[in-house]
């Protein structure tokens, strides 16, 4: 069914409306969830990011509640554009659809669609637009808490003064440097490096309100809470160290496994007092966005573990094929294989532990 646009708004015609269409997302035609997205010219990055949203039922179950009858929307409305695309993906019998309408929606939001993007930047761009444009504040809050990593930033002055500030992030940018270019790094080690406090000395000294001058200090972050979907970004693009230099890609190996435990990371004292961190912070990998090529030109694809059949799939624009976990591990990276796919964004889902059933007689 098509909608008529009148003065930038939609008017409902008779027939099925988006708000009334229950997505057969977790049942029915939706056999394994894998529908390719045609490349509309340099749109591989948009496609890979969209697939990472579409194949997360935690995300779509919130978006699915978006009700057009309650919203004022135009063609540039991201929640509407996403619902419309996902609706088309659901109904596709051919296995490939075009994301053209959504690309136009992005363009109306000043995000160029047919352009080489950085997947992480694009993910944040789309997600922030989505949050801004969700008029239902409860939905926006739910969406926010799905990815929000709450952190405590601290600065400890040598005088003993401790300054803390709460902050939050949608993803953790993990450092790959400092380990030597040719060395292999474990994801867990990169996480530890992110949380390792840094000495602020020399020109980095920090102003201390108690000392009244800039002092050497220790700066770092601790976890306050962890989200349902954990977005980890491997910092494979190193900014130029001097003028005239260019952005370099780090191809070296970062190994990761399907399960990740965050319980070993530093937790803020405030959160610990509330009992946070006592529960299990176990995560399961469900999507790996890969980048191949250089910092100047490249291609994005995504590996996704289907929530329907628990199989890994590789989605490369229109091409969808079933793969094994071993194929996913080939994205760890290697300095000897410069044009190969390297994992760039890792999306983990928190494993919800079910309460054990009460023992007999209790
Ligand atoms: Zn001080």
Percent of the chain past pLDDT 90, that is, above it, reads 61
State how far the alpha carbon of 161 is from the alpha carbons of 27, 45, 198, 207, in Å: 56, 45, 16, 11
What does the block give as tokens for 312? 């890994």
Count Cβ atoms below 10 Å from residue 252 Cβ, excluding itself: 20
Task: Please provide residue 287's backbone torsions phi and psi, each rounded to the nearest 5 degrees.
Answer: -150, 140
Distance 162 CA to ligand 1 centre (A): 8
Greater model confidence, 279 or 77: 77
At 59 the pLDDT is: 93
Span 269-289, average pLDDT: 88
pLDDT in tens, 252-272: 899 999 999 998 999 999 888
21 pLDDT above the threshold of 80: no
Per-residue confidence (pLDDT) for residue 33, from 0 to 100: 65
- Least confident residue range of 13-17, 51-55, 86-90, 329-333: 13-17
> Which residues have their alpha-adjacent CB atom under 5 A from ion ligand 1?
157, 159, 161, 208, 210-211, 215
* 216-246 residue pLDDT tens: 999 999 999 999 999 999 999 888 778 878 8
pLDDT of residue 23: 53
How far apart (Å, rounded) are the C-alpha atoms in residues 188 and 179? Answer: 13
Please give the C-alpha separations between residue 30 and each of 44, 99, 235, 241, in angstroms, as whole numbers: 23, 18, 35, 49
pLDDT of amino acid 354? 62
Tens of pLDDT, residues 54-102: 999 899 989 988 877 777 678 899 999 999 898 888 888 788 999 999 9
Mean pLDDT of 144-160: 96
Question: Residue 5 has what pLDDT?
Answer: 37
- How much distance in Å is there from the Cα of 165 to the middle of ligand 1? 16
216 Cα–ligand 1 center, Å:
8
From CA 225, how far away is CA 69, in angstroms rounded? 35
Ligand 1 centre to CA of 153 (Å) is 17
Distance from C-alpha of 57 to C-alpha of 37, rounded to nearest angstrom:
18
Give me ligand 1 centre to Cα 192, in Å. Answer: 27
Task: Check residue 19 and give its pLDDT.
Answer: 45
Say which CATH topology domain 1-147 has: Cathepsin B; Chain A (3.90.70)
Please name every residue paired with 179 in a beta bridge, in sequence order, or none if there are none: none
Structure tokens at 100: 């053209």
pLDDT tier at 159, thresholds 50, 70, 90: very high
Q: How far is the CA of 214 from the centre of ligand 1 (A)?
A: 8
262: CB partners within 8 A, 6+ apart? 191, 223, 226, 230, 281, 282, 283
Q: Average pLDDT for residues 351-360, to the nearest whole number? A: 65
Question: What is the pLDDT at residue 322?
Answer: 93
Q: Which of 44, 45, 157, 215 is catalytic?
A: 44
Give the pLDDT score at 178.
55
Q: Which of 252, 334, 342 is nearest to 299 (CA)?
A: 342
CA–CA gap between residue 206 and residue 198 (Å, rounded): 12
C-alpha dihedral, 342 to 345 to 350 to 351, nearest 10°: -20
pLDDT value of position 358 = 58
Q: Clarify whether 117 is annotated catalytic.
A: no
Residue 136 reports pLDDT greater than 60: yes
Active-site annotation holds for 335:
no
Please check the confidence at residue 143 and state whether its pLDDT lies above 50: yes
Spans of all domains in the chain: 1-147
């Amino acid at each position: 069914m098509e909608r008529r646009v009148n003065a930038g708004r939609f008017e409902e015609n008779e027939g099925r409306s988006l708000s009334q269409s229950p997505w057969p997302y977790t049942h029915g035609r939706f056999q394994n969830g894998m529908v390719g997205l045609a490349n509309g010219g340099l749109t591989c990055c948009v496609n890979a990011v969209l697939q990472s949203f579409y194949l997360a039922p935690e995300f779509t179950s919130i978006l699915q509640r978006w009700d057009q009858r309650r919203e004022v929307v135009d063609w540039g409305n991201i929640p509407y554009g996403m619902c419309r695309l996902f609706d088309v993906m659901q109904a596709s019998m051919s296995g490939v659809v075009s994301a053209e309408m959504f690309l136009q929606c992005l363009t109306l939001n000043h995000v160029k669609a047919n352009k080489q993007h950085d997947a992480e930047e694009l993910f944040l761009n789309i997600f922030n637009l989505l949050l801004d444009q969700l008029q239902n504040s409860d939905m926006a809050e739910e969406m926010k808490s799905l990815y929000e990593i709450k952190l405590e930033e601290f600065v400890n002055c040598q005088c003993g003064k401790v300054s803390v500030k709460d902050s939050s992030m949608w993803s953790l940018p993990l450092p790959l440097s400092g380990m030597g270019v040719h060395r292999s790094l474990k994801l867990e080690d990169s996480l530890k490096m992110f949380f390792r406090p840094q000495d602020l000395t020399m020109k980095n000294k920090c102003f201390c309100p108690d000392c009244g001058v800039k002092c050497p200090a220790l700066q770092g972050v601790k976890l306050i809470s962890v989200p349902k979907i954990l977005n980890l970004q491997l910092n494979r693009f190193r900014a130029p160290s001097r003028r005239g230099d260019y952005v370099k890609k780090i191809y070296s190996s970062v190994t990761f496994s399907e399960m990740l435990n965050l319980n070993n990371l530093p937790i803020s004292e405030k959160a610990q007092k509330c009992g946070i961190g006592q529960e299990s912070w176990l995560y399961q990998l469900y999507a790996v966005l890969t980048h191949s090529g250089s910092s100047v030109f490249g291609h994005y694809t995504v590996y996704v573990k289907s929530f329907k059949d628990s199989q890994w799939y590789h989605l490369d624009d229109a091409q969808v094929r079933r793969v094994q976990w071993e194929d996913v591990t080939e994205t760890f990276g290697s300095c000897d294989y410069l044009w190969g796919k390297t994992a760039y964004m890792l999306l983990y889902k928190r494993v919800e532990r079910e309460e054990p059933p009460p023992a007999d007689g209790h």
